[in-house]
Amino acid sequence: MTNVLRHAQATRIDIRAAEAAGEFMLTISDNGKGISEDETSGLQSLGLLGMRERAILIGGKIDIAGVEGKGTVITLTVPIGRAGGPSDPAND
């Protein structure tokens, strides 16, 4: 959300949370200028790196997709609810 405010020049943000097929998905979409490939993979992108690290820590992942002039979609996917799965505290 901070990234959208700081970088995107968006007028709209959509936040969706959904559960399907044993996965929780959180999607944050904006209608701003769109993040570029260089920006998603740049080593100076510590904010995005931190998001990826935190997703991995809970067994999930982050996907980032930008389309120039259309906006950016960030998707967090985390497996849930399966006994013995990555999110089962019994594995700790």
Ligand X SMILES: Nc1ncnc2c1ncn2[C@@H]1O[C@H](COP(=O)(O)OP(=O)(O)OP(=O)(O)O)[C@@H](O)[C@H]1O
Residue ranges of E strands in the chain: 13-20, 23-30, 61-67, 71-79
* Structure tokens given for 11: 């007028």
Based on CB atoms, which residue is closest to Mg ion, 38 or 92? 38
Site string for Mg ion, 73-92 (x = CB under 5 A): --------------------
Length, in residues, of the chain: 92
Contact stretch for ligand X (CB under 6 A) within 16-24, 26-34, 52-60, 77-85: 26-34
β-bridge mates for residue 19, sequence order: 24
Among 42, 47, 50, 85, binds Mg ion (CB under 5 A): 47
